[in-house]
A and B are shown apart, each in its own frame.
Chain A
Amino acid sequence: MSHSTKNSHLSTTVANLKPSGIRRFFDLAANMDNVISLGVGEPDFVTPWNVIEASYHSLEQGYTAYTANAGMIELRQEISNYLKHRYFVDYNPDNQVIVTVGASQGIDLALRALINPGEEVIVIEPGFVSYAPAVTLAGGDPIIINTKPEHEFKLQPEQIEDAISEKTKAIILCSPNNPTGSVLTKEELIKIAAVIEKHDLIVLSDEIYAELTYDEDFTSFAFIKGMKERTILISGFSKAFAMTGWRLGYATGPREIIEAMVKIHQYTMMCAPTMAQHGALEALKNGQKSVLDMKKSYRQRRNFVVNSLKEMGLDCHLPGGAFYVFPSIKSTGLSSEEFAEQLLRKERVAVVPGNVFGSTGEGYIRCSYAASLKQLDEAMKRIKKFINEL
């Protein structure tokens, strides 16, 4: 890495960190009227009322103080029950569960707990924009694997082999994936697990979209034989329960690692917000019906959007999960950035250029279908018009 400007007070690591490409589109779209946004990485639903009400109630009752560093034991117990019943993975709420400030903090804590300076972490692209910077900030070196469109952007086990060196410590997996919506099947996970075991890697499995799979049941990576001992399962309430602004997530894993994460957490964060923890407790106890209703609606909209994009002549695989479609816009002859910017300026539809999620996303755009059917319908008409007028 090159050094920063001489007179800067900033750390070289931070100064050299690339700003997120999403930022520029945010600035562009934020200053325009009448924009339909398919550029949002969060549900369009408001948090279920019972969750909001439970959080109100906790505030009225005066629950405004810190909780235990690892999170309220009742909540950790509920998380443990939920993971056991929903995904058949068993964690001790006393020392294998930590409540975090969003899944994002879980990733940060895990990386900081694991990485020695110069160690490598494998990051898969197209992928969530924060993984590689989080590795760098933890003192590690991100090693990028570029997944391929012909594999629906799913990681192939042999790609891991190619990326491994003696410095490789861990790999970050994310299925269902943001931005591609691809879901790894159980069989695919088993093949990946074999390589991971062979090279003795730690896995950060970001399962934030686990509840949102549409064509087959989700398999947690920790459920694969032999993987629980080397997997940090990272998830949260944001996507499934429509609770993004609450900033509440959790991580579960081997006791040694979770306890190390709690150590960092207690010195840097103290605990996750108390009112959000009370809301999350209600979400786990009585929230499954809302999750299923939202999931049903996402599936219907996914089908609608994929069909509309195909009718326009855009190449697009049917994503099995999350709430994103990742169509190719190569046929238009435009780059991802050109497509997204011109679409925004001409037709006022915001999408995210695929290259923001890694260079291999060039030629693609991410459209979120976390928007009302009415908005999606109008957005599809506008995109069609945009393409026809190119």
Chain B
Amino acid sequence: MEEKELELLELLETNGRLEVETIATMMELTVNETKDMIEKLEKEYAILGYSAIINWSNVLEYEGVTAMIDVKVTPVRGLGFDKIAERIYRFPEVKAVYLMSGAYDLSVSVEGKTMIEISRFVSDKLSTLDTVISTTTHFVLKKYKHDGVIFDDDDEDKRIPVSP
């Protein structure tokens, strides 16, 4: 991929709300070139959407639990892991699914309102799938960093205000 496209993606990944005009200036491109590049990356599904990074633990009204579940499965002949992964990721409470190397096959991240809700999902939906051999559920106690963003980061400027 072209170097400029990578630079654009990095900029948008850190701040999806940057104005096209600002991006253009920063990258030494014209506004139209920048617009075209964004459109192209959207069409190629390199950019899937623009979302906010939210620290839910700072939202008083929000109550929720996240669990990371290690899932061992028997791959289906001819379809491998993909079909099983799909069976799992179609559930809306599933926020992420990864195929892993190592001790288990799929890493599934699930969000729910309570621990009971997640337990129900695991016992009723996930472990009852034909191909699932076993599950190990880990509940998340605290989020320190997510997708490269440090939560509760201290962004105070510690420099003296004027220096040579």
Contacts and interface: CB of A to CB of B under 8 A. Distances in A.
Interface of A: 20, 22, 25-26, 29-30, 35, 37, 39-42, 44, 128-130, 178, 296, 300-301, 303-304, 307, 350, 352, 356, 372-373, 377
A136 to B, nearest CB: 16
Interface of B: 7, 11, 15, 22, 25-28, 155, 157, 159-164
A336 to B, nearest CB: 14
Contacts of B161: 26, 29-30, 35, 37, 39-40, 350
A25 to B, nearest CB: 5
Identify the 9 closest CB pairs spanning chains A and B, nearest first: A300-B26, A39-B162, A29-B161, A26-B162, A37-B161, A307-B25, A41-B163, A129-B164, A25-B162
Contact of A26 (B22, B28, B160): B160
Contacts of A377: 22
A313 B100 CA distance: 56
A39 B11 contact: no
A22 B11 contact: no
A44 B157 CA distance: 8
Nearest to A215: B28
Contacts of A26: 160-163
Nearest to B22: A304
Contacts of A301: 26
Contacts of B159: 37, 40, 42, 44
7 contacts: A37-B162, A40-B159, A128-B164, A178-B164, A300-B11, A350-B162, A352-B164
Contacts of B22: 304, 373, 377
Most chain-B CB neighbours within 10 Å: which of A22, A39, A44?
A39
A296 B26 contact: no
A44 B163 CA distance: 13
A35 B27 CA distance: 28
Contacts of A41: 163-164
A371 to B, nearest CB: 8
B96 to A, nearest CB: 26
Contacts of B25: 303-304, 307
Given A296-B7, A300-B26, A304-B25, A37 B157 contact: yes
A80 B61 CA distance: 58
Given A356-B164, A373-B22, 4 more contacts: A26-B161, A30-B161, A42-B159, A352-B164
A178 B163 CA distance: 12
A381 to B, nearest CB: 13
A22 B26 contact: no
Contacts of B164: 20, 22, 41, 128-130, 178, 352, 356
A55 to B, nearest CB: 17
A42 B160 CA distance: 10
Contacts of B7: 296
Contact of B162 (A40, A44, A372): A40
A130 B157 CA distance: 25
Given A303-B25, A304-B26, A30 B11 contact: no
A69 B78 CA distance: 69
Nearest to B18: A373
Contacts of A22: 162-164
A25 B160 CA distance: 11
Nearest to B7: A296
A20 B157 CA distance: 24
